[in-house]
Amino acid sequence: MARSRSYDLVEIAPHARPPVCKIMNYGKFVYELSKKNREAKKKQINNDLKICKVGLNIADGDFGVRMRRIQKSLENGDKVKLIIMFRGREIIYKKHGFQMVERITEIVKEIGKLEGPPKMEGRNIIAILSPISKKG
């Protein structure tokens, strides 16, 4: 029947008893399937993880630059991994590092929030900021 209509006989479910087959134009089917996959890929949202490193004794001008970069990344829908670095003897001032994380989250509270509590990893404090969805 498939040859008489110049179509292909495509096996849909080979493990079923009896096997299920369908008469169709296989080339057109594959083309439409790839077209659907391309459309789904276009609509997919790609969230990147941007990294922002900040020293404990950062100047106000540099801090402003870092804050603008963090805000721009959050507005674009990307997550930001905030790293507060301690150099040398600064490590004894961990409290100041956690205060800096609180200060940054307070500034970006309109567009982003902390995913979890900041963690001390080695000589760094690491916090991840995620954007607040515009739907909610």
Task: State whether 93 and 35 are in the same domain.
Answer: no
* Structural domains of the chain, count: 2
Q: What is the CATH number of the domain that holds 104?
A: 3.30.110.10
Range of the domain at 111: 49-131
pLDDT in tens, 46-97: 778 999 999 999 999 999 999 999 999 999 888 999 999 999 999 999 999 9
Task: State whether 82 and 59 are in the same domain.
Answer: yes
Task: State whether 78 and 112 are in the same domain.
Answer: yes
Q: Which residues face 73 on adjacent strands?
A: none
Looking at residues 26-53, what average pLDDT do you find? 89
Using a cut of 0.85, tell me whether the model's pTM lies above it: no
